[in-house]
Amino acid sequence: MYIAYKIKKLYMQRYNISSEQPLNHWLSISLKISDNSSKHLNLSLAGWRPGRYEMAEYASYIRNVKAFDKDGEDLSINKSDKNTWEIDHTPEELEIKYEFYAAQPDGGGSWLTPELIYLNFINFAFRVSGLEEEEIEVHLNIPVSFKIATSLKVTDKRLIAKNYYELIDSPLFASEKISFSEYYVDETKFKIAFCGENSNPENWKNDFEKFTREHLDLFGEFPFKEYTFLILGLPFQAYHGVEHNVSTIIILGPEKEIESTKYNDLLGVSSHELFHAWNVCRIRPVEMMPYDLSKENYHKTGYITEGFTTYYGDKILATSDVFSTEQFLEEINKMCKRHFQNEGRKHSSLSDSSFDLWVDGYRNRAPGRKVSIYVKGCLSALALDLLILRNTKGEKSLDNAVRELWRAFGKTSLGYSENDILQILNNVNAKNVSQEFYTLYHQTIPIENILNPLLSHVGCKLKQQHSQLLNERKFGFRLSPDNSGKIIAIAPGSPAESQLMIGDKIISIENKSKDLAEYLSSDKDQDSLTLKYERFGIEYETSLTSDGKTYYDWYKIEKNDSVSKDQKEMFKKWLKKEF
């Protein structure tokens, strides 16, 4: 059952969104424009979205773009480039109709089923030339029983955006299965909206309030009066979050595990995205001030935008006592394992990998080509934090640099350069740290050479770990985690490199064709391995012999067995916890 509403105010831009058959994921969209005074209109889609530094090609999800005058007569509409449509001789009132394929269930996409409508307007909303600052009304044709969760103003289930920029920065979901909770930190209101089953956001409120207050203690003020956590639970494996000025959209699954095995993930991504409300949403590199959504915004400071955020997302959970020391180190060690098992650390610096996000996005088109701005960026932020603690004898930390970034660039809406970052770090350290900065962000020198001496000042160390999987440890090849037997990586110089290739499918190991993962993760420590595998539809057999080396080694951070009083005091200044 659907309902219609009387419109009390005539908006110059009015969207109507519906779907006759949600199972096919196609949305029918109408944009009515009134009081138009221009004889030529450009309607353009964003080429990418903030928080994801790659071109998105949203136009590839749109079809049947047509334009009509108020009498329903066709208007000529033509594309001038891949993301822009032009209408000449435009009347005072017109309507643009088109369809959008909403089949991307992640933090930056849109998703449609009979039970749920989830929208990121940046995927499909047009930037109408000359009307960017005008208010926009959105009417959703949804069942009466559906509730709506969004940071936008909602009136009688109609959405009102102040302008185009607020619209594309405000995701929403609508469903019967939405539950709400809220809390205050000082005078600022925080809302949690959860769409899904088997979880209750009231159960999370205490932890959310604790880490939110710690964010306030770090920055000194909130950059908003109200903030909304939009958390969408899905029945399958999912993990993603995207920052927005006054909200975040977080996707997690399987939803039945959110309050058990996925709860730390929920806390981690929620803290991460809240940190983004300062860092990236407002503290931004000069190349993105303002955003140009029509083309690539090349920048080399992804280690600030995502590296700092990844580190602080977890550090704040520790300093707020939401995470124990052990939980915090577990999260940091996940970063360690991902970094040290990535061959790209030997071939690309953090700054170059940041720039190259616009080349190959977030995919590994070529193995071992680059590092992650999230992963190595996080470990480099850890190194800076420990460096400042050491240099200032615990009087200051990276927190001081973050606060200065907010004061100098976030509150002023000025974009920072890399030199600005270095100057702030030099000021906080009261000494020149250019060499350490250059090594972390512009070189491929092993980060363990930097981290280990710094960790010793807080009573910790890096300890080498070997892969628990026989195929990785002795023979140097990795298999897909989906148990398909497909080879997804091969270590350079390993026994596997001369006989196997990425994409080969292992059929049997030592004549065993079942439970291969269990066999490889057992306590067996053999020095040879007989494999049958399939390549391009042809079966082969080969034997691998260990060369005595180990592959896919990594380092984890752990506490020292014996620590001094000074180390314990420095540890407490780092994480606000007793050693």
**Residue listed under structure tokens 């650390």:** 345
**Residue listed under structure tokens 């009515």:** 32
Omega within 30 of 0 (cis) for the link into 290: yes
Residues 6 or more apart whose Cβ sits within 8 Å of residue 104: 61, 110, 111, 123
pLDDT band at 246 (very low <50, low <70, confident <90, very high): very high
Q: Could you tell me which CATH number the domain at 470-545 has?
A: 2.30.42.10
**Residue listed under structure tokens 């350490």:** 436
pLDDT band at 297 (very low <50, low <70, confident <90, very high): very high
pLDDT 10s digits, 356-392: 999 988 888 899 999 999 999 999 999 999 999 999 9
Is it the case that residue 1 has pLDDT exceeding 50?
Answer: no
Nearest to 108 by CA among 171, 150, 160: 171
Is it the case that residue 302 has pLDDT exceeding 90?
Answer: yes
pLDDT 10s digits, 440-449: 999 999 999 9
pLDDT band at 155 (very low <50, low <70, confident <90, very high): confident
Q: What is the pLDDT of residue 6?
A: 44
What is the distance between the alpha carbons of residues 445 and 203, in angstroms, rounded to a whole number? Answer: 45
Nearest to 4 by CA among 198, 197, 142, 206: 142
From its phi and psi, is residue 363 left (phi > 0), alpha (psi between -120 and 50) or beta?
beta
- Mean pLDDT over 226-236 rounds to 97
The separation between CA 369 and the C-alpha centre of its own chain, rounded to angstroms, equals 20
Domain spanning 181-277: CATH 1.10.390.10: yes
Phi, psi (degrees; rounded to nearest 5) at 380: -70, -35
- At position 272, the amino acid (one-letter code) is H
Specify the domain boundaries for CATH 2.60.40.3650 within the chain. 13-176
Q: How many of the other CB atoms lie within 10 Å of CB of 367?
A: 13
Which superfamily is assigned to 295-460+560-579 in CATH?
A: Neutral Protease Domain 2 (1.10.390.10)
What is the distance between the alpha carbons of residues 155 and 2, in angstroms, rounded to a whole number? Answer: 17
Specify the domain boundaries for CATH 1.10.390.10 within the chain. 181-277, 295-460+560-579
Whether 167 and 121 have beta carbons less than 8 Å apart is answered as yes
Specify the domain boundaries for CATH 2.30.42.10 within the chain. 470-545
pLDDT 10s digits, 405-463: 999 999 999 999 999 999 999 999 999 999 999 999 999 999 999 999 999 999 999 99
What is the distance between the alpha carbons of residues 328 and 204, in angstroms, rounded to a whole number? Answer: 18
Q: What is the pLDDT of residue 7?
A: 45
Q: What is the pLDDT of residue 116?
A: 97
Share of the chain above pLDDT 70, in %: 98
Q: What is the pLDDT of residue 514?
A: 85
Q: Work out whether the CA dihedral 328, 331, 336, 339 comes out positive or negative.
A: negative
pLDDT band at 522 (very low <50, low <70, confident <90, very high): confident
What average pLDDT does the structure give for the chain?
95
**What is residue 141's DSSP assignment?**
-
Domain spanning 13-176: CATH 2.60.40.3650: yes
Q: What is the pLDDT of residue 10?
A: 64
What is the distance between the alpha carbons of residues 552 and 6, in angstroms, rounded to a whole number? Answer: 63
Is it the case that residue 107 has pLDDT exceeding 90?
Answer: yes
Q: How many of the other CB atoms lie within 10 Å of CB of 198?
A: 12
pLDDT 10s digits, 48-89: 999 999 999 999 999 999 999 999 999 999 999 999 999 999
pLDDT band at 190 (very low <50, low <70, confident <90, very high): very high
| Helices H / strands E in the chain, number of each | 16, 28
Name the H helices within 221-369: 263-276, 302, 309-319, 325-340, 350-355, 357-360
- Mean pLDDT over 481-501 rounds to 95
Q: What is the pLDDT of residue 523?
A: 78
